[in-house]
Structure 1
Amino acid sequence: MASSTVETSDRVKLHARVFKPADLVPPASPPRASALAPPSPRSAAAARPPALAGRVDGVGRVPLRGHSADSMRLNAINMDIDGRLKEPTGTVYEDDKSHIEAVPSSENEGGELNKSNVPISTKGEKLEQSDKATVREDNGGSRSQNGPKEKIWEMEDQLIMAKAYLRFAPPGSNSHLVRELKLRIKESERVLGQASKDSDLSRSALQKMRAMGSTLSKAHRAYPDCPSMASKLRAMTYSTEEQLRAQQSEASYLMQVNARTLPKGLHCLSMQLTSEYFSLESKEMEFPNRDRVRQPHLYHYAIFSDNVLACAVVVSSTVSASKEPDKVVFHVVTDSLNFPAMKMWFLLNSPHPAAIQIESLENFQQWLPSNFSSAFRQSGVKDPRFTSPLNHLRFYLPEIFPYLSKILLLDHDVVVQRDLSELWKMDMKGKVIGVVETCREGESLNRLKSFLNFSDPTIQDSFNAKSCIWAFGMNIFDLNEWRRRGLTTSYHNWLQAGKRRQLWKVGSLPLGQMVFYNRTMALDRRWHVLGLGHDTNLERYEIERAAVIHYDGNMKPWLEISIPKYRGYWNKFVNYDNPFLQQCNIHK
């Protein structure tokens, strides 16, 4: 499935193009910039509105940067123009008269959040506070990441032209020009299959590019019908764009299916651990250090998860990063189905010197609402990631831990890289939850208007549409302040209001924005870096200086569709030599 996934970072506005005779003259040797040569990355970057994801780059080039060997590339030319390739309709523009409208950014009015700068502790020192938010530069696609690609793009254009000329030859023709075109096409495809940027091109590859230019000059002299060529290229563009849309739709669907499905290896692991658990004697089922579970002066972490291996990584990374691991206490809550496996794993792999407690969701039924398992389900939503009771258990933290005053909640798709004890020591100034905001100054993305239905009068009266969104995944809670403000009751009220009319998007995050509105304290972004489960453009230094990294998104690190360059941060906390992992064929 990964091979069919098409990157959409290079986005340009498609214009049908009027070809002039000069446009169809390929570069001579040495090559000059032809009319089909792509714009420079700088100008192209300025002309890529986000709304046109998946459009065709330039005249006939599909933006498959980074996937030069993709089997879908340029196959549209093999389709017959007559009857099978449909030329797109629309206005035809000259190149020098095409315009791309700039999309203005929404004015940033800030959020309603009270920011507090809290230093992040490392093993031996405190990091200095940054006065400015780290903003990742977008230099127009992959140029800054992978180097310039002008020659790669020129070769792709040559390949398109060569295949188009080949279609002009009479059926069954085996002339010298046809044989030469086929040879040049094969050579170019081989080069493009091995190179992703200009620096990958060898001297022989550049010689092949010049040879292709010479062959195209011959073809132009043999087939000088420019209008027919222009029509054929437009038809190729249209057909390839249709294929691209179909591939993107299929890739998106398959990725969603993959993200919802438990891998076979993890299912095997749960079964093996469950079987082992029920073979234990009752006295062997207890953890050491049980007396520390209720001591409020220790550093308490809550993890709600049904994924054994993911939970193991969170626990292992937290202990490894802690300066005082003997003061760390983990409270892991899972469902009844995964409770034996979860408990067996930590009985066999103790987080010593930290203490750990494993609880089943069913142990809290006496004070949870009778309809808890179905109360937050929305009509038409079947994704278990949005309907899992474990995701909504976070709104009952004061009831689950009545003996604690502070607790830190970690999602099971995070890795802890720095000591987090400073979070317990900070003054929360009457706020309930410490968060990292996901919006950027001057940007309109990740604002409350994207999550709530502001056409509803109740929402309009209660919230500011331009307030900044913050993230779950790593949050410190003042449970005493939560109890004093009665926020669990507020959660119930919003939940009931949402049953009568659509007030928010699916999931627990919009509810969190509502329940804790104006009750949040913004933390430095280095405490919690998000995007490792969906964003391939995160900077390495930004990841490695973070206290907690979060694989939010569909590409979780335990799935085959995970982003390879981020997988190592997670893998180093998994002991792949563990006999249970070996038995279930779980490898890097």
Structure 2
Amino acid sequence: MPLRKVNVVILILLAVAFLIIVQRNLLNLSDFLHKENPDAGQILPFEAELSKDGRQKMERKAEEIPVLITATEDRLGAAIAAMNSVSQNSKARVVFTIVTLNDTADHLKAWMSKTKLKNVKYRIVIFQPELLSGKISKDPKTLEATKPLTFARFYLPVYIPEVEKAIYLDDDVVVQGDIQELYETNLKPGHAAAFSDDCDSASAKGIVRGAGNQNNYLGFLDFKKEAIKKLGMRANTCSFNPGVIIANLTEWKNQNITQQLEYWMERNFQEDLYSNTLAESITTPPLLIVFYKRYSSIDPMWHVRHLGTTGAGNRYSPQFVRVAKLLHWNGHYKPWGRASAFSDVWDQWFIPDPTGKFHPVRRHAD
């Protein structure tokens, strides 16, 4: 074959190879863009039932950590202290989604905008209590336990739809470590969430027992009811505390966790499935059922609990409290209200209300 023809053939082959490479790159770019924005044009579950704020999306950077926290008017100072402790101790940028009610939104905005929290990245979402219609009792005896915002954690993927992983925090916590460490908690394949076991250490076990023996499923669910019997759960299974949750929101959505939780709320509304000795919030039993032996564990130092329980919090030494990564005042005694253990630690993170509406109350203050 003449040299000129060989050169032509080579050029043609090179051109074809070049076109193939360009095509593949374009296809890879298309796939990348699709992965970067998988929810584009998609209507999320319950979206129609949320406020417009709830549907807003924010531009997020890879190093940002999404945290959801609730804020009620009577406990607004708690949410402020929790967020301040997180932001002050975190190297990564935290993005807060604050779920609240209409009567609190303006107060919250004023508090955030007039203090150092104005530099924190956040958005405010209005919770719609109608979501709970037919799912919880309106019995005045259980009014404290059925405050609407306690159920916001059930709707994590709805309020933070644009991320794969997120953290939920109760408002009665302070974070003393870098929340990046908590965020990096390893979730096992197929697990939609990680919680703190109520039997995760000998000291915690003793404290829980002293607080009312609420460390197993028997303390939360009525195992005499047929609906509970059919689940085949062991009554002595260690329970967990949902005041701190690390959630894999992709798994949460794929497994329809929100719908499962709502189902058990409705069943309880109809059949009263919870234990008569239930001492904690009624948000816990549905979570215990749905996540039975299907969750990962949080490092115990990232959820030191029961500081708000009678006598229990005082069992911790000051040295232990100092090195704990996250402190939780679950129980009746809150550091901003009645006398509680280590309220001075909480005070370090509280930011006074510039509007003058919220003041911590110390029953035994001098």
Q: Above 0.5 in TM-score? A: yes
2:6 is matched with which residue?
Answer: none
1:322 is matched with which residue?
Answer: 90
- Gap change, CA 1:499 and 1:355, over 3 Å in 2: same
- Tell me if structure 2 keeps the 8 A contact 1:292–1:329: no
| Cα distance in structure 1, aligned partners of 2:224 and 2:359 | 51
For 1:398, give the aligned amino acid: P
1:464 is matched with which residue?
Answer: 234
For 2:325, give the aligned amino acid: A
Q: Secondary structure at the match of 1:351?
A: helix
1:572 aligns with 2:338: no
Deviation string 1:527-583 (CA, Å, 9 cap, x unpaired) is 100111112322223322211101111111111x222x511111111244x6534x8
- Tell me if structure 2 keeps the 8 A contact 1:447–1:468: yes
For 1:434, give the aligned amino acid: A
- Gap change, CA 1:335 and 1:352, over 3 Å in 2: closer
- Tell me if structure 1 keeps the 8 A contact 2:157–2:253: yes
For 1:542, give the aligned amino acid: F
Paired residues for 1:298-447 under 5 Å: 298-306=64-72, 307-324=75-92, 327-351=93-117, 353-362=119-128, 371-378=130-137, 380-430=139-189, 431-439=191-199, 445=213, 446-447=215-216
For 2:305, give the aligned amino acid: L
| Cα distance in structure 1, aligned partners of 2:287 and 2:253 | 16
Paired residues for 1:489-568 under 5 Å: 489-505=259-275, 507-534=282-309, 535=312, 536-559=314-337, 561-563=338-340, 565-568=341-344
- Tell me if structure 1 keeps the 8 A contact 2:111–2:354: no
- Tell me if structure 2 keeps the 8 A contact 1:293–1:356: no
- Gap change, CA 1:373 and 1:350, over 3 Å in 2: farther
- Tell me if structure 2 keeps the 8 A contact 1:452–1:504: yes
- Gap change, CA 1:417 and 1:379, over 3 Å in 2: same
Identity of counterpart residues, as a percentage?
Answer: 25
Give the greater-gyration-radius structure (CA): 1
| Cα distance in structure 2, aligned partners of 1:585 and 1:305 | 15
| Cα distance in structure 2, aligned partners of 1:296 and 1:447 | 38
- Gap change, CA 1:455 and 1:296, over 3 Å in 2: farther
Q: Secondary structure at the match of 2:117?
A: coil
- Gap change, CA 1:427 and 1:575, over 3 Å in 2: closer
Instruction: Quote the offset at 1:514 in angstroms.
Output: 1.3
For 2:121, give the aligned amino acid: A
For 1:372, give the aligned amino acid: L
Instruction: Quote the offset at 1:473 in angstroms.
Output: 1.7
| Cα distance in structure 2, aligned partners of 1:570 and 1:585 | 14
Deviates more, 1:290-299 or 1:442-451: 290-299
For 1:447, give the aligned amino acid: N
| Cα distance in structure 2, aligned partners of 1:566 and 1:296 | 36
Instruction: Quote the offset at 1:352 in angstroms.
Output: 5.7
Paired residues for 1:131-146 under 5 Å: none
Paired residues for 1:95-494 under 5 Å: 294-295=60-61, 297-306=63-72, 307-324=75-92, 327-351=93-117, 353-362=119-128, 371-378=130-137, 380-430=139-189, 431-439=191-199, 445=213, 446-462=215-231, 463-494=233-264
| Cα distance in structure 1, aligned partners of 2:361 and 2:355 | 11
Q: Secondary structure at the match of 2:145?
A: helix
Instruction: Quote the offset at 1:350 in angstroms.
Output: 4.2
Normalising by structure 2, we get a TM-score of 0.71
- Gap change, CA 1:503 and 1:381, over 3 Å in 2: farther
| Cα distance in structure 2, aligned partners of 1:455 and 1:587 | 42
Instruction: Quote the offset at 1:504 in angstroms.
Output: 1.3
Deviation string 1:395-414 (CA, Å, 9 cap, x unpaired) is 11112221111110011110
- Gap change, CA 1:460 and 1:557, over 3 Å in 2: same
| Cα distance in structure 1, aligned partners of 2:132 and 2:269 | 15
- Gap change, CA 1:373 and 1:337, over 3 Å in 2: farther
Task: Flag structure 2 segments of 5+ consecutive residues without an equivalent.
Answer: 1-55, 276-280
Q: Secondary structure at the match of 1:518?
A: coil
Root-mean-square deviation over aligned CA pairs? 2.6
Q: Secondary structure at the match of 2:293?
A: coil
For 2:86, give the aligned amino acid: T
| Cα distance in structure 2, aligned partners of 1:310 and 1:584 | 10
1:235 is matched with which residue?
Answer: none
Per residue, is there more strand in 1 or in 2? 2
- Tell me if structure 1 keeps the 8 A contact 2:67–2:96: yes
| Cα distance in structure 2, aligned partners of 1:579 and 1:499 | 41
| Cα distance in structure 1, aligned partners of 2:89 and 2:197 | 23
Q: Secondary structure at the match of 1:473?
A: strand
2:49 is matched with which residue?
Answer: none
